[in-house]
Amino acid sequence: MTKFSDLKLDPKVLKAIDDAGYETPTPIQAGAIPPALEGRDVLGIAQTGTGKTASFTLPMITLLGKGRARARMPRSLVLAPTRELAAQVAENFDTYTKHMKLTKALLIGGVSFKEQDALIDRGVDVLIATPGRLLDHFERGKLLLTGVQIMVVDEADRMLDMGFIPDIERIFSLTPFTRQTLFFSATMAPEIERITNTFLSSPAKIEVARQSTTSETITQGVVLYKPSRKDRQASEKRNLLRALIDREGEACTNAIVFCNRKSDVDIVAKSLVKYGYNAAPIHGDLDQSKRMEVLQGFRDGNLRILCASDVAARGLDIPNVSHVFNFDVPNHPEDYVHRIGRTGRAGRKGTALTICVPSDEKQLAAVEALVKQEVPRVETPYAPPAGRRAAEENAPETAEKPARRSRAERKPRTPRAEQAEMAPREDQPRRDEAPAREERPAREDAPQREERPARAERSDRGPRRGGRRDEPVLGMGDHMPSFMAQSFDERRQTAQG
């Protein structure tokens, strides 16, 4: 069996590995470290949780043991897709360089540029960064990449999902052509393969497991759940999640709950806290200091349940996670492999349970097609509350359901009430027999109005607006000139005479 002492690493690195308690390398480490020490490009394909981080940190530290960094010109570059993964890589370098004098800088969002510029100005041997923050420093003129000797791209498939491939290609163009490239990914998408063919030179390909496979140390299960009503789906899923956690009992020492949306992460975390669970959220909208605080509390055991989006699904090394709960089936099937890979790490046993509602069945089928196996179905520990409609649907067929009554049928009326309603009241006269209105007698002291004479009709004028005339109007009236009333022949005779 291969040991770390057989891999020609620096003695100081071997001492740090021994202090960390490791003796035997994982398959990806045993396959990637020797060609990396020889200066060759490496293409590593392995599922998450197999130790890919140490596969490039250990040979990098050995190769950088000799030499000195210059200001603003790092000697090596490590690109990570998320802040958490970049911080984890930095922790690995701290662990394995404890007996060596190598400097590092971490360039991630959420930290002021001034502090990061101060580190770069002093010169660093290892620069660990996310692509966006690295390009920000470069465009501000604070960083030069012409001195990079070793370049590492970690979790390349995650870079593809997050849209960082154009940034990666630009960063490759800013580094020297003679650099050594170490490229690691859990899956090998066509776009990733194109980049490796473009920027890697005759790489040593190490594939320790079939692409997109899950670890055998993880016990998987899916709960097919149909909510009682569509508008109650979210609340009933939260009830089901708590029932699953309670059913696991003491075996669930800690757990990560994954949601597809950031808003659901906050809602699920608040719901768990409301019912007495020790839980906290972590997603991309939180401040970097808060994210690191929550993550450190989970690692230290002060936090039992971590509610996370997929920002925490890739590359985070938390070795003692006992359970993973997928509150939603992931939209991308590759994310399922990375999510459940947070448990069952380093040979430990783990459990991964997924909640699947009818709208998620297509995503579940895509996951099973990717991993090439059926996820075992698990009986649900939670039954939705049966309402009136559900009780009627579940009633035995022999029992007749009561017919729905109309509004008129809900209040039975007696014949006497109907007759009383139809017959007119004695004290109420009918409409046609209502008494005529009596004329009020004139007051004796009231002044009498004089009768106005009727307006005489005038026939010599035209009709008023809104009025009428007894005689019809002929022609244009008396004002018409006489020559217009003559015919053409009469006017011609008059003119000739």
Q: Give the tens place of pLDDT for each residue, 13-53.
A: 999 999 988 888 988 999 999 999 999 999 998 876 678 88
% of the chain surpassing 70 pLDDT: 74
Residues linked to residue 106 through DSSP beta bridges, in sequence order: 128
Which stretches does DSSP call E strand in 147-264?
150-153, 180-185, 204-207, 218-224, 255-258
Those residues with Cβ within 8 angstroms of residue 207's Cβ, 6 or more apart along the chain or in another chain: 44, 45, 46
Neighbours of 39 (CB within 10 A): 11
The partner residues of 43 in beta bridges, in order of sequence, read 183, 205
Q: Give CB contacts under 8 A, 24+ apart, made by 17-20.
A: 17/58, 17/96, 19/98, 20/95, 20/96
- In tens, the pLDDT along 105-134 reads 999 987 888 889 998 998 899 999 999 999
User: Is the pLDDT confidence value at 422 over 80?
Assistant: no
Two structure tokens written together for 10: 């620096």
Which residues, other chains included, contact 240 with Cβ-Cβ below 8 Å and sequence gap of 6+?
223, 225, 355, 380, 381, 382
Tell me how far CA of residue 240 lies from CA of 158, 200, 281, in angstroms.
30, 48, 19
- pLDDT band of residue 401 (cuts 50, 70, 90) is very low
* CB neighbourhood size of 481 (10 A): 8
d(CA 42, CA 36): 7
pLDDT at 452 over 70: no
Say if CB 167 and CB 77 are below 8 A apart: no
Residue type, 17: I
Better-predicted residue by pLDDT, 462 or 289: 289
pLDDT at 365: 95
Please tell me what DSSP assigns to residue 305: E
Encode pLDDT of 52-108 as tens digits: 889 999 999 999 988 888 888 999 999 998 888 898 899 999 999 999 989 999 999
Which pair of structure tokens corresponds to residue 300? 């230290």
pLDDT of residue 288: 76
pLDDT of residue 347: 73
Q: How many CB atoms lie within 10 A of CB 21?
A: 6
Q: Looking at the whole model, is its pTM more than 0.75?
A: no
CA distance 112 to 132: 14
Half-sphere exposure of 356 (CA within 13 A, CB side): 25
pLDDT at 295: 87
List the one residue out of 171, 172, 193, 248 whose CA is nearest residue 43. 193
Arithmetic mean of pLDDT over the chain? 81
Instruction: Indicate the burial class of 217 (C-beta count within 10 angstroms; 0-12, 13-18, 19 or more).
Output: middle
Residue pair 37/62 in contact (Cβ under 8 Å)? The answer is yes
Q: Does residue 352 carry a pLDDT above 90?
A: yes
Domains of the chain by start residue, with CATH? 4-207 (3.40.50.300), 218-384 (3.40.50.300)
**46: how many CB neighbours lie within 10 A of its CB?**
24
pLDDT at 371: 87
| Assigned token pair, 195 | 């980049």
Most confidently modeled of 197-211, 255-269, 473-487?
Answer: 255-269
- Look at residue 145 in the predicted model and tell me its pLDDT: 94
Evaluate if residue 233 carries a pLDDT over 90.
yes
* pLDDT bracket for residue 398 (50, 70, 90): very low
Structure letter (DSSP) for residue 4? G
What per-residue confidence (pLDDT) applies to 212? 66
Higher pLDDT, 473 or 175: 175
Strand partners, 182: 42, 152
Q: Are strands 305-308 and 218-224 parallel, antiparallel or unpaired?
A: unpaired
Q: Give tens-digit pLDDT for 136-156.
A: 999 999 899 999 999 999 988
